[in-house]
Amino acid sequence: MSPRARIASIQVALAAAIGLSVAIGVAPPAAADPCTGAAAAAQPPAGAAASPSLPSTGGLPIGHRPPGANARAPLPKLGLLPAALLKAFVPNSARVQQQAAVVPSPTPPAAANQQPAQPVPDAAAAPPAAQAEPPGTSLVGWVTGPDSPNDTLSRFAISGTDLGIMWDNGNRQVLMAFGDTSGYCSVPGHQWRYNTLFRSQDGALAKTIRVSGSPLWAPGISKQIINTTKWAPSETGIIPTAGISVGGQPYLNFMSIRSWDANGAWTTNYSAIAVSPDNGERWGVYPGSVRTPGPDSVPGARHMAGNENFQQGAFLKPGSGDPYIYSFGTPSGRGGSAYVARVLPGSIPDVTKYAYWNSDSNSWVPSNPGAATPVIPGPVGEMSAQYNTYLRQYLVLYTNGANDVVARTAPAPQGPWGPEQLLVPSMQFPGGIYAPFLHPWSTGKELYFNLSEWSAYNVMLMKTVLP
């Protein structure tokens, strides 16, 4: 059956049942950086279940490697980064003026309407108020790998992974999607998986993001959550790029990788959206969500000009007053500009329902990705977005051309976006950093975000205190 016919037939059935794909093949040995030191010698527990079928290819995603990254760099130290940053951030209470975007109202102070308490006669002096943390960025701890308090190797057979895209599932839980994942290095193929998922209820974020669970293939091994659709003739990765939950239904934007190219560059077959009916245990791909980067990327699939700019995504919930979900898009790799589209929540997997921001006409153009104009100039690496209640502005994080983690703010999702503000200088992480993904519960003065480190090939939790 041709991909076009298969797409049409699955679309008809999708409302009644989610089509779930299967993993294929066995991964060849991969020279993964996590396979050093104690992780290299670690053995699966006695009696552990045999590894299921894994992807037919494996190994570090070379395209994710930041230019100039030193694969032998020592692990970065925990604590505050030695730099004076964030001087240009100033909370802005200006209301949105551009059309079709409404800023949610800030949370009122809890004690605004309370009467002052009567003083207590001869009361002891109150202890001094805790000193506020100085503005700046800190490395809080490791989320994954052998140095993480989450013990991801013994719990989930994860010695190394990257990304850690986070979103609120709507039920007091955060879901985290990861990219290429290595397991026990002593097992042939290193238990390579194209993607995995964690769950967390941790709101303290004291030393890391505490992980409460993961979809498992068997006890002790996280499963690959999105598997091949076989629509593309050649596929070397299935990598999540953005996640969101609407009405308790998780959606995950991902890209099918044709090839990992030079550092910071890769080629996609397509991007698409998967949905889970059970909080991430099983996932099915919406065929109607496929966006191809060119006319010949997927045999038989219809290509629309402009979809090449939406191969990676960043979902944004704007808050009360605005009925839309916003979806930022960038091309394959880290060299392109960012674009933005919007859609009603009930139509997230239907790309024909999206409207695209066109700055020339100062309007949203429906159903035409080719009409989208850049809202943030490139190069824009993997990005995440939120409405920040402290700044009263929209906020995005990404890596720029120097591979620094930077932030921009704007009064509306379509901009105008202010200048880059430096959060994490790449020079302080010679092992190479990428993919700053915001924690959905930190939308105020303290920002928490995941950040991948290439030399360790694992994910760190970072914290930025705004001035």
- pLDDT, one tens digit per residue, over 43-88 is 888 777 666 767 655 678 989 999 999 999 999 999 999 864 555 5
Provide mean pLDDT across the span 173-177: 98
Maximum pairwise Cα distance, the chain: 85
Share of the chain above pLDDT 90, in %: 72
Give tens-digit pLDDT for 426-450: 999 999 999 999 999 999 999 999 9
On whether the CB atoms of residues 272 and 292 are closer than 8 A, the answer is no
Whole-number Å distance between alpha carbons of 351 and 290: 8
Whole-number Å distance between alpha carbons of 193 and 144: 15
Residue 247: band (very low, low, confident or very high) from pLDDT cuts 50, 70, 90: very high
Q: Looking at the predicted structure, is the pLDDT value of residue 189 above 80?
A: yes
Which is nearest to 422 in space by CA: 454, 398, 390? 398
Predicted confidence at residue 46, as pLDDT, reads 76
Predicted confidence at residue 253, as pLDDT, reads 98
Provide mean pLDDT across the span 198-211: 97
Q: Looking at the predicted structure, is the pLDDT value of residue 298 above 60?
A: yes
Residue 33: band (very low, low, confident or very high) from pLDDT cuts 50, 70, 90: low
Is the omega angle on the peptide bond into residue 61 within 30 degrees of 0, that is, cis? no
Whole-number Å distance between alpha carbons of 240 and 196: 9
Which is nearest to 146 in space by CA: 390, 378, 456? 456
Whole-number Å distance between alpha carbons of 295 and 91: 45
Whole-number Å distance between alpha carbons of 464 and 467: 10
Residue 295: band (very low, low, confident or very high) from pLDDT cuts 50, 70, 90: very high
Residue 117: band (very low, low, confident or very high) from pLDDT cuts 50, 70, 90: very low
Whole-number Å distance between alpha carbons of 117 and 31: 65
Contacts with 439 (C-beta within 8 Å, 6 or more apart), sequence order: 166, 174, 205, 209, 447, 448, 449, 450
Provide mean pLDDT across the span 121-147: 73
Tokens coding 249: 């239904």
Whole-number Å distance between alpha carbons of 457 and 34: 6
Mean pLDDT taken over the chain: 85
Better-predicted residue by pLDDT, 355 or 103: 355
Residue 109: band (very low, low, confident or very high) from pLDDT cuts 50, 70, 90: very low
Q: Looking at the predicted structure, is the pLDDT value of residue 90 above 80?
A: no
* Lowest mean pLDDT across 33-42, 108-117, 181-190: 108-117
Give tens-digit pLDDT for 328-357: 999 999 999 999 999 999 999 999 999 999
Of the segments 121-130, 184-193, 332-341, which one has the largest average pLDDT value?
332-341
The 3-state secondary structure of the chain, one letter per residue? CCHHHHHHHHHHHHCCCCCECCCCCCCCCCCCCCCCHHHHHCCCCCCCCCCCCCCCCCCCCHHHCCCCCCCCCCCCCCEECCCCCCCCCCCCCCCCCCCCCCCCCCCCCCCCCCCCCCCCCCCCCCCCCCCCCCCEEEEEEECCCCCCCCCHHHHHCCCECCEEEEEECCCCCEEEEECCEECCCCCHHHHCECCEEEEECCCCCCCCCCCCECCEEECCEECCCCCCCCCCCCCCEEEEEEEEEECCEEEEEEEEEEEECCCCCEEEEEEEEEECCCCCCCCEEEEEEEECCCCCCCCCCCCCCCHHHHCEEEEECCCCCCCCEEEEEECCCCCCCEEEEEECHHHCCCHHHCEEEECCCCEEEECCHHHCCCCECCCCCCCEEEEECCCCEEEEEEECCCCCEEEEEECCCCCCCCCCEEEECHHHCCCCEEEEEECCCCCCCEEEEEEEECCCCEEEEEEEECC
On whether the CB atoms of residues 136 and 81 are closer than 8 A, the answer is yes
Q: Looking at the predicted structure, is the pLDDT value of residue 198 above 70?
A: yes
Q: Looking at the predicted structure, is the pLDDT value of residue 4 above 90?
A: no
Provide mean pLDDT across the span 85-102: 47
Predicted confidence at residue 438, as pLDDT, reads 98
Q: Looking at the predicted structure, is the pLDDT value of residue 183 above 80?
A: yes
Q: Looking at the predicted structure, is the pLDDT value of residue 9 above 50?
A: no
Q: Please state the pTM of the whole predicted model.
A: 0.85
Tokens coding 272: 């698409």
Tokens coding 89: 């951030």
Contacts with 80 (C-beta within 8 Å, 6 or more apart), sequence order: 134, 136, 137, 138
On whether the CB atoms of residues 237 and 228 are closer than 8 A, the answer is no
* Lowest mean pLDDT across 37-41, 84-88, 154-158, 429-433: 84-88
Q: CA geometry: angle at 153 spanning 151 and 159, to 5°?
A: 115
Q: Looking at the predicted structure, is the pLDDT value of residue 32 above 70?
A: no
